[in-house]
A and B are shown apart, each in its own frame.
Chain A
Amino acid sequence: MRRKSYFGAGVCIFLLFQLTSCAPKIPPEALQLSPESLKNRQLQTRRFDTDEQTMLSASAAVLQDLGFTIDESETDLGVIACSKTRGAINAGQIAGAVIFAVLTGSVTPVDKDQLIRASLITYPITVDKEDKSKCRTAVRVTFQRIVRNTSNQVTRRECINDPEVYREFFEKLSQSVFLEAHEI
């Protein structure tokens, strides 16, 4: 009898120590180059025939066109970090929640808003100080979003890798470079 309760106490102490030291570990692949990294780089990068300075101001303009606010920038390194908060209401999800509420009488939280963050990096490939048109600059943009629901919980944290988003963004950027070049 006595032995049994010692055992119980031992287990309790062990569990308690486990709890106090339970910092979750970083996933082993988090900082490893993935096989998709090259594909993502191609998706997120375009080359433009102009200098880095022009590219940066055209990019800042297009980000403003899209409603982003610039949080941070460093022209020496070709960095623009920006963000915006928008709605994340999904009609399908609301319909699902309504049906669930009717059937069970309990309310399920649905996605409410999202914080969209982007970083845009320029990289000079060819630099020609005299002739701008001989310069080549690479631009890489990456989008991420954090979605919160009506109970203010984070429901999604993800990198946006939809090719359509990037295609459309670079289309807008090309137009902006054109406008910039012609000072419109």
Chain B
Amino acid sequence: MKAKQNFASISILCFFMLLSCAPSNRQVLATNESQVKLRAIQTRAYDTTDKQMMLRAIIATLQDLDFIINGADHVLGTVSGTKLDRYALRMTVSVRPRGETQLLVRANAQYQIYAVEEPEPYQQFFEALSKSIFLKAHQVE
């Protein structure tokens, strides 16, 4: 009998826990990882200052990975693309100068309706990009 009561109270507790979740409009600003950690995962520095070359290399790399390019902006330094392979993977890559000798490349991806926050996919992307420009990617702290 007591076990039944326990079970009922736990069920109610679970129900309230679900109710107390953040409203869905909080998703606008939601991330699972800290800002600093995300930037470290998604950013690499390259020893070049040729923004045009870097943007074209990013476009070529995305195409090699079966993406189509949805848009690009030379002034802002961004490229966005989508890959469809039963799933939908969207990605934006941005380029900005870092100091006098380097460029910072930042990528962020969305798989279906979820943000990609694991390090491995980004590692693979930067590896592919490094191959196409013959430059080493430096981890940024």
- Name A residues whose Cβ lies closer than 8 Å to a Cβ of B: 1-2, 4-6, 8-9, 12-13, 16, 20, 23-28, 30-34, 37, 40-41, 44, 71-72, 74, 76-79, 81, 117-119, 121, 123, 140, 142-146, 157-159
Contacts and interface: CB of A to CB of B under 8 A. Distances in A.
B69 A81 contact: yes
Contacts of B60: 121, 123, 140
Contacts of A28: 120
Nearest to A3: B3
Contact of A24 (B111, B120, B121): B111
Given A26-B111, A77-B56, A157-B86, A2 B2 contact: yes
B70 A81 contact: yes
Contact of A12 (B11, B18, B70): B11
Given A5-B3, A32-B124, A72 B64 contact: no
Contact of A142 (B6, B63, B116, B122): B63
Contacts of A16: 14, 17-18
Given A41-B64, A117-B82, 7 more contacts: A9-B10, A20-B18, A30-B83, A34-B66, A77-B79, A119-B63, A158-B86
For the complex of A and B, 10 pairs with smallest distance between CB atoms:
A5-B3, A76-B74, A72-B71, A119-B69, A119-B68, A26-B111, A157-B84, A31-B124, A2-B3, A79-B72
B38 interface: no
B87 interface: yes
A77 to B, nearest CB: 5
A74 B114 contact: no
A143 B82 CA distance: 11
A27 B83 CA distance: 12
Contacts of B65: 31-33, 37
Given A26-B118, A33-B65, A41-B63, A72 B70 contact: yes
A77 B69 CA distance: 11
Contacts of B3: 1-2, 4-6
Contacts of B114: 23-24
A68 to B, nearest CB: 12
Interface string B32-76: 000000000000000000001001100110011111111111100
